[in-house]
Structure 1
């Protein structure tokens, strides 16, 4: 196992140290390459056409068309009172050609007015939803980065323990051959070295898995290393983060605009009771003169329509939209209450993580001093090998625990910033 580990370390050194990917670089790569974010942006571009589609219903429409008809008989008439020798008027030729142009324009369309306004609100909701998705994706990238960096630090701690246990095994073997220690001490040293090797393999596999997850989020290869960033700074406890959350979080703003959208749709249901007025103009031309004796004809039409009873559809729509208004209002209050709760809970988690980190750092300082004194005592022949082994294991465990508490503090800080709407804000 030691030989295999040595070969692995040699190959890694020969391959060279992979480039360091910083947290800022990872976040920037996610902004550019993350597939979920690209999907969200593509949907936003689709939503940006809602207003134009709503306006299109109010803009004039122009259509042209043409036709050809082969008739079985030709029909020609001579109108009474025409001078002798006047050729008859062909009202149906064998080969009949025709063309038509038509213009339509809505003059008074009350149902379209709230639809245009609602389209703009729907675009705002889509934009806010995309912004919320962007922040959530960057938050996931930051979490993955801190996790990978912490696992990399844990590898260093377990590798140190392996080096110590390997050296201790060699020293114990010499002492056993000299007859100064028992067989049990030698077996214990070999067991400690084996466990350290297993822990190192687990740590490296966990680190590789974390890097793979991070690489997938930012769409690049996993041939990089990371550096442990400092714990993110958060606003002081005196600042009203709950108020900032209600002002800064896009999901809260989206819930408010969703309520505006529901109110607009209910207004549209009311406007369906109003009459509508429209205008149309038609121009037709054909090689058949018709009874009027002209090859072209035009007509202008001003029409009005007022639906007095549609079987109760408008009443059903009005009740449905009113229920949606009530739903959107409750969802807005729920989103605001959840945002306030998340800020309070994140603040408590961050303060608890800070306290745990302080205790972990204190315990790490004590473990280092204990390990140092135990090593000195062992060299002086006062301490036993088991005491040294226990001190080394305790030091490594304490170091890993401190790394984990630092990770939890960083993640708690990220969650607090996210709950207040301050993380990845641009």
Structure 2
């Protein structure tokens, strides 16, 4: 672990420290992409209700008023009662009930709606994990830039001290003006490196604040490299079982099969029930103001111009496509796990070498500084040692960042990053 705390300026107490867990929690609650995905999920969760609505009874009521130009009435033979068939002001009301009794085409549609909801939920979970993965990447990057600032500040102090010491030696006539100019140049470069590091940190922090929808008034703490499962853990198996994109591809295959079944069910006949109640101020020939009727209806489409055959071939092609997509998702997951494992092992090896090189560079710089003060080492040797230390500091921070990102990618490829328990 790169320890520079003793060499840095104290962070202002007015600036709160944002931890990685807090950043992820803020993204879960406030990230706009996650909110949009949740809204789409809520829309998709209505698919089952919409499918069932076609099988539930339909009730409709209506009323009408008609002003007729003439009134029509008649009397039955042997009676004096007048029956009004058409009054001047005619009022009518109707209530109707319809219910599908046997609707084979709706049966797979209801099942398919449930599968579609599962696909939408898995897709939303995949989006959630992807966004939180991006947030974690942004956090590690910004925290690494913050560490780079601390390293740049330390190296600037070293170069300022070197410039001051060289100035004194030049005034005493023990070093040449070239040595003084070199010290001033090294100090100017260190100042430029610090400005670049601060700008990079501000940019990375702004990107992070946008992801979590929080003002960038915070500092960060560099987390340890994420822990990953050991080599003996079958990460490929876990990826195939826990990755939501793989599960969504499988459910999409189930959905394609279900839609093809729906086409087959459309060949079956359907049976429905209907009931109607009417009331009017015109009694009609029955002599009653109200009437009702019940009925059963059956429909069997024997030929629809070949549309069902076309739909069947289309859905069969979609089943083949979904089968290929499911196998492709599993193949990609397997490849991503294997590649991420290799990248992680390579990053760990690079980090170990970078930390070893940093330790050697620090010791070399310390000994060279002592030798220079003793008049044994030349200024060029000191400048080379400082340059090597600067390069080693930056490289160690970069390799630590790459190792952390490689660990995150491995966890994500195995379906372990931000998995719901």
User: Shorter-chain-normalised TM-score: which range?
Assistant: over 0.9
Q: Is residue 265–residue 321 contact of structure 1 (8 Å, CA) maintained in 2? A: yes
Q: Which of 58, 61, 71 in structure 2 is aligned with 1:61?
A: 58
Q: Matched residues in 1 for 2:383 and 2:201: separation?
A: 26
Q: Out of 124, 128, 146, which is 1:134 matched to?
A: 128
| 1:130-183 Cα shifts (integer Å, max 9, x gaps) | 111111111111101110111111111111111111121122122212211111
Name the residue aligned to 1:387. 381
Q: Secondary structure at the match of 2:291?
A: strand
Structure 2 residue 70 is matched with structure 1 residue 73: yes
Name the residue aligned to 1:82: 78
How far 1:22 sits from its partner (Å)? Answer: 0.6
Q: Deviations over 1:260-291 (max 9, x none)?
A: 00000000000010000000000100001112
Residues in 2 aligned to 1:171 and 1:365: alpha-carbon distance in whole angstroms: 25
Tell me by how many angstroms 1:17 deviates. 4.5
Q: Shift in Å at residue 57 of structure 1?
A: 0.3
> Equivalent residue of 2:338, what SS?
helix
Unaligned runs of 5+ in 1: 1-8
In the other structure, the counterpart of 1:3 is none
TM (norm. structure 2) is 0.96
Instruction: Find the partner of 1:404 among 377, 380, 398.
Output: 398
SS of 1:73's equivalent?
A: coil
Residue 198 of structure 1 aligns with which residue?
Answer: 192
Q: Which residue of 2 aligns with 1:41?
A: 38
Map of 1:145-160 to 2, 5 A cutoff? 145-160=139-154
1:77-115 Cα shifts (integer Å, max 9, x gaps) = 122x232xx132110011000000000000000000000
- 8 Å CA contact retained: 1:111, 1:268: yes
Q: 1 CA distance for matches of 2:215 and 2:78?
A: 91
Structure-2 residue corresponding to 1:359: 353
Quote the Cα distance in structure 2 between the aligned partners of 1:106 and 1:333: 39
Q: Secondary structure at the match of 1:328?
A: helix
Q: Please state whether the residue corresponding to 2:284 is helix, strand or coil.
A: coil
- CA–CA distance in 1 between the matches of 2:215 and 2:270? 61
Change in CA separation of 1:377 and 1:234 when aligned onto 2, cut-off 3 Å: same
Q: Is the 8 A contact 1:161 1:393 kept in 2?
A: no
Tell me how far apart the structure 2 counterparts of residues 167 and 17 of structure 1 sit (CA, whole Å). 30
User: Is the aligned partner of 1:312 residue 2:309?
Assistant: no
Return the TM-score normalized by structure 1.
0.95
- Which structure 1 residue ranges, 4+ long, deviate > 2 Å from structure 2? none
